[in-house]
Amino acid sequence: MITFIFVTNQLPNMMRRDVFQAIADPVRRDIIELLAKEVLSVNAVAEKFDVSRPAISKHLKILKECGIIEINKQGRERFCQIQPKNLIPAFLWIEQYQKLWEDRLDSFDTYLMKLQTKNKDNE
């Protein structure tokens, strides 16, 4: 006889979100920016936005699941602290495109300068 045991409390760990889901939303990016400057309580974070408290709580939950923030309880307050090392995968991915975009923008700038020069010569 074979018995199957399903452990449901392990499912959230198996379905862990990643850093790219964390930075996909502009509100979460703003929260990351705030917490990069200082540790804030959940209430202090919520006060900075014109969205509902439950919406901010959901964003904080996603950031926590992604490993971008840690939430520590101190007395009755819960404080959010950024975990910047967990943003490294996103930084490395974005960094590979930085040179490409810099080259393209430089090329575009050169093209615009040539157009301006050509237009001045035709006047």
Show the domains of the chain with their CATH numbers: 8-122 (1.10.10.10)
Give the pLDDT of residue 78: 96
Tell me what pLDDT residue 95 has: 87
Residue 8: its pLDDT value, please? 41
Q: In what order do the strands lie in the sheet with 40-41?
A: 40-41, 77-82, 69-74
Tell me: the pLDDT tens digits for 3-43?
444 444 444 444 567 888 889 999 999 999 999 999 999 99
Residues with Cβ within 8 Å of 116's Cβ and at least 6 positions away in sequence, in order, are none
Find the mean pLDDT for residues 47-71: 94
Reported as a single tens digit per residue, the pLDDT across 99-117 is 888 888 989 989 898 888 8
The predicted-structure confidence for 72-88, as pLDDT tens digits, reads as follows: 999 999 999 999 898 88
pLDDT of residue 36: 94
